[in-house]
Amino acid sequence: MKTGKIISITVTIVIIALILLFAGFIALNFFGPQKETAQTQQGSSSRSASVVRVTPVSLGTIERSVIINGEILARNQVTIYPTTAGRIVELRYRIGNRVNSGDVVAVVDPSRPGDVYAHNPVTSTVSGTVLNVPLNIGDMVTTQSGIYVIGDLSSLLVETHVPERFVASVRRECARFYGLKRSAEKHLTPKYSR
């Protein structure tokens, strides 16, 4: 019983000593004497230098811009679906190829083990450019699996989402300047929607 009391008293003394040591360290850092070097007393600069560019004052326009990424979409685009389920055995077009309405764009084999059926052609319902081919040869498809996305590139839509912190900068009367990769930068007349 006496050893238990001795241990608890020893632990209490050690904890109090650590608290006092920690409090003394904090007091020394905050309230201790401030050391000044001879350079700062004499006023010589030991500060880091900043680069400053001086330009003569002239009339001009101050432009404020916000760079926002977006997606370029075809206004009119259609997903092409097969009429039967099966395995894709042929894809005849790639992204960027021109397709006419009625063209056979893919071939689906509806055969199952033990049953052999004729291959089923998948035809395009619209004319346009292939925008997306989400599947590959050998993939299984159903009648709800889109094989191609075909769109009319004569009418494009640029879809962006403006972060909330920039919403105050965007107004209907502001002119917009767009730059597209691999093409000359052009002024476009925007149409806004919420």
CATH number of the domain residue 87 falls in: 2.40.50.100
In this prediction, residue 161 carries a pLDDT of: 78
**H or E stretch at 128:** strand 128-132
23 and 74 in a single domain? The answer is no
Q: CA 105 to CA 44: how far, in whole Å?
A: 79
In this prediction, residue 28 carries a pLDDT of: 80
Q: CA 179 to CA 185: how far, in whole Å?
A: 4
Q: CA 57 to CA 95: how far, in whole Å?
A: 52
> What is the identity of the amino acid at 125?
T
177 and 92 in a single domain? The answer is yes
7 and 81 in a single domain? The answer is no
> What is the identity of the amino acid at 141?
V
Going residue by residue through the chain (194 aa), what tens digit of pLDDT does each one get?
A: 677 788 888 989 999 999 999 888 888 877 766 655 544 455 555 667 778 888 888 888 877 777 777 787 888 899 999 999 999 999 999 999 999 999 999 999 999 888 889 999 999 999 999 999 999 999 999 999 999 999 998 888 777 777 888 777 776 655 555 555 555 555 555 565 55
What is the CB neighbour count within 10 angstroms for residue 99? 20
Residue 170: domain span = 70-160+162-187
Q: Full-prediction pTM beyond 0.95?
A: no
In this prediction, residue 51 carries a pLDDT of: 81
In this prediction, residue 88 carries a pLDDT of: 96
| Rg of the chain (C-alpha set) | 36
In this prediction, residue 179 carries a pLDDT of: 55
In this prediction, residue 35 carries a pLDDT of: 57
In this prediction, residue 70 carries a pLDDT of: 78
Give the distance between the most distant pair of CA atoms in the chain. 100
In this prediction, residue 52 carries a pLDDT of: 82
List beta partners, residue 108.
88, 120
In this prediction, residue 181 carries a pLDDT of: 55
CA angle 85, 91, 97 (to 5 degrees): 130
Using an 8 Å Cβ cutoff, are 155 and 122 in contact? no
In this prediction, residue 45 carries a pLDDT of: 52
In this prediction, residue 42 carries a pLDDT of: 52
Q: CA 157 to CA 155: how far, in whole Å?
A: 7
Query: Could you tell me if residue 62 is inside a domain?
Result: no
Query: Could you tell me if residue 177 is inside a domain?
Result: yes
Token representation of residue 16: 């109090």
82 and 177 in a single domain? The answer is yes
Looking at the 3D structure of the chain, how many domains does it have? Answer: 2
Query: Could you tell me if residue 46 is inside a domain?
Result: no
